[in-house]
Amino acid sequence: MPNGSDQVYLVAGSNSGNSQDYLKKAIFFIDKIKNTKILTTSSIYQSKSYGPIKQSDYLNQAIHIETKLTPHRLLDEVLSIENNLGRVRKERWGPRIIDIDIVFYGDEEISTPNLTIPHYDWKNRDFFIACLKEISCPFVEGNGLSLKSVKKLI
């Protein structure tokens, strides 16, 4: 992709229905976003759910992309993918068919009501760190988490 592109790291997660299939579909649709190219994806990792609601384990996968889209336009695209795959937002930290987070967008720092980059809580989420480390995300090198709660599946 020519100059003017940014390096972006996403993490997709699912813990409802056929989670592996939802992750595959998310990758398929991310690859169809205009002016965006998938550079690499991590293996799929299994982790305990995050937050106060008891629920099934999550499957998570990191996606390194290059895009010419602005951060807010990219957010619109990933929210559209979530909606098209059937995500319904009922409760914070509740079960999800699919969740696609923009964790890093180049070295941008954004804090708006609907978008925070870097992701506001990435340092406390082993499942982000495990799959981002696998694809050599430069922002997570040397993070001291033990990653005991995360299991590589594929």
80 strand-pairing partners: none
Answer yes or no: is 143 within a domain.
Answer: yes
**Which one is predicted more confidently, 1 or 35?**
35
43 lies in a domain?
A: yes
The domain tally of the chain equals 1
Please, is 78 exposed, middle or buried when counting C-beta atoms within 10 Å of its C-beta (0-12, 13-18, 19+)? Answer: buried
Answer whether residue 11 shows pLDDT above 90: yes
Concerning whether 92 is annotated as a catalytic residue, the answer is no
- Establish whether 89 is a catalytic residue: no
Q: Letter for the amino acid at 39?
A: L
- Does residue 94 fall inside a structural domain? yes
Q: Looking at 6, 87, 125, 126, which residue is catalytic?
A: 87
Give domain status of residue 20, yes or no.
Answer: yes
Residue 18: pLDDT above 70? yes
Residue 62 forms beta bridges with which residues? Answer: 11
Q: Kindly state the tokens that stand for 120.
A: 């506001």
Q: List the CATH number of the domain containing 130.
A: 3.30.70.560
pTM for the model: 0.86
The reply to whether 1 falls in a domain is no
Catalytic, out of 21, 89, 101, 107: 101
Question: In the predicted model, what is the mean pLDDT of the chain?
Answer: 85
- Secondary structure class of 122 (helix, strand, coil): helix
Q: Are 22 and 11 in contact (CB under 8 A)?
A: no
> Which is catalytic among the residues 6, 99, 125, 126?
99
**96 is annotated as an active-site residue:** yes
